[in-house]
A and B are shown apart, each in its own frame.
Chain A
Amino acid sequence: MKHQIVDPKASSANKGEADESLFEYLHAEMVNYVLSTSVKSGEKEKEEDLSRLESMGFSVGYRIIERLTREWPRFKDELDTIKFICTDFWTSLYQKQIDNLRTNHHGTYMLQDNSFRLLANIGGSGSKQYLRESPRLLAFTCGLLRGSLANLGIPCTVDAEVSALPSCKFNVYVQRI
C-alpha cells in the first residue's frame, strides 16, 4: 500500500476544531459506561456485551461518511470503496492509514493497522498485559466501519482481532444478497 506523507503538525493550527485527545477521553468513558451498565449474561462473563458500543459506532459511522464523501467522486466498485476507507477515511479519523489490506475477492477484507490509535497507549510493541481488555477498545471502531460501509451501500459485518498490541486487524465480511 502506498504511503502518503501526512504531517499532523501541518494542519494543527486549528480553528473551531476539537482536539484529538478529547475523543480518546470520551471514548474511554463510553467504554466504561457500557461495561458498568451491561447486564452480566449468566455466569460466563467471558464475552462482554459490547453491542451498545458497536451500535453507537454504527450511528457515528453512518453519519460521518455522508459528510466525508460529500464532494467525492462516485466509487467504482466495492474494492475502490474499501480502499477509500483504508486511506482517507482512516487518516481523517485516526491520523494514519491502514497498513495492510487483504482480500479474498469474495467479499472478505482484512484491514490491518500496525499501531491503532486507541490501542497505542495501553501497551508497547508486543505487550500482552492488556490483551484481554483490548476488544473493548475496538468495538466502537467496528461499528464505525460497519456504519460507514452501510451508508455507502455495502451491508457487512465487522469484527476485530488483536494478536499483539498495538496492532490489530479488522475483518469486513460483505453480505451478498
Chain B
Amino acid sequence: MSRTGTRLDTKKLNSELFTLTYGALVAQLLKDYENVEDVNKQLDRMGYNMGIRLIEDFLARTGSGRCYDFRDTAEKIQTAFKIYLGITPTITNWSAAGDEFSLCFESNPLTEFVELPDNCLHLKYCNILTGVLRGACEMVQMEIGAWFVQDQLKNDIVTEMRVKFIKRLEDAIPAGED
C-alpha cells in the first residue's frame, strides 16, 4: 500500500531545516539576552566556532591549497558559499589597496522566512556568517574582519557583507622553544 503523495524533495527540506533551526536559535537568543547587541555578538561567536570546524570540511572537499592573494581568498569564499548554502554572492567594491571587498547577496537562504519586527532594528540577523568567515580564515592564518553594511531585512536592495584583510598570522612557536 503506497501513498499517493508526491515524494518530498530531500535537499530542499534539508535547507529549510537549517533555515528554521537558525531562526529558532535567533529567537531563543533574543529571549535570553535583553540587549540586541549581545545577540549579535553571540551569533558571531557561534559562527566563529562553526567556521573553525567548517574550514576542515571545506579543504577536504575542495582540495584547495593556499591562497595566492586576497582576491584568490575572495573567490574561495565565494566557492564556499556555493557549496554550503547554494548561493553565489558577487564580489564587488574592491578597495584600492586590494585588502577589502564586498560580498553581495541577492538572495539569502538564512532569511527565507524572516521579517524583522520593529524592535529588532539593530539585530544583525545573519551575523553568524561573519563569524563563520572569521573563524575559517583564522584557521588558514589570516585575520580578517567581516561585517554587514546592507541588509535586505532592513529594506536595502541587497545584503552586503564587507570583508577586510587585517594581517597574516604567523605560525605560533611552541612554548619553550625560541
Contact = CB atoms under 8 A, between A and B. Distances in A.
A54 B19 CA distance: 17
Given A25-B50, A33-B46, A11 B11 contact: yes
Q: Is the interface of A mostly helix, strand, loop or mixed?
A: helix
B109 A32 contact: no
B85 A92 contact: no
Given A22-B85, A23-B21, A26-B21, A67 B4 contact: no
Given A18-B18, A91-B8, A25 B54 contact: yes
Q: Is the interface of B mostly helix, strand, loop or mixed?
A: helix
Contacts of B85: 17-19, 22
Given A60-B20, A68-B8, A18 B49 contact: no
A128 interface: no
Nearest to B8: A92
Interface in A99-119: none
Interface string B1-45: 001111111111111111111111101100010000000001000
Range, interface on chain A: 35 or more
Nearest to B32: A37
A23 B17 contact: yes
B16, B23, B42, B49 — most chain A CB neighbours (10 Å): B16
Interface string A4-31: 0010100110111111111101111110
Given A52-B28, A73-B5, A93 B109 contact: no
Contacts of B42: 33
A84 B2 CA distance: 11
Contacts of A91: 8, 10
A63 interface: yes
Interface string A64-108: 100110011100000000001000110111010000000000000
B83 interface: yes
A6 B10 contact: yes
B14 A20 contact: yes
A59 interface: yes
A56 interface: yes
A49 to B, nearest CB: 13
Given A18-B85, A72-B5, A23 B10 contact: no
Contacts of A14: 11, 15, 86
14 contacts: A17-B86, A18-B14, A19-B85, A21-B54, A26-B22, A26-B128, A30-B21, A57-B24, A64-B17, A71-B6, A84-B3, A88-B5, A88-B8, A93-B17
A-B pairs, top 10 by smallest CB distance, nearest first, are A18-B15, A17-B15, A92-B13, A18-B18, A56-B24, A29-B46, A25-B50, A72-B5, A19-B84, A17-B86
Interface of B: 3-25, 27-28, 32, 42, 46, 49-50, 53-54, 57, 83-87, 107, 109, 113, 128
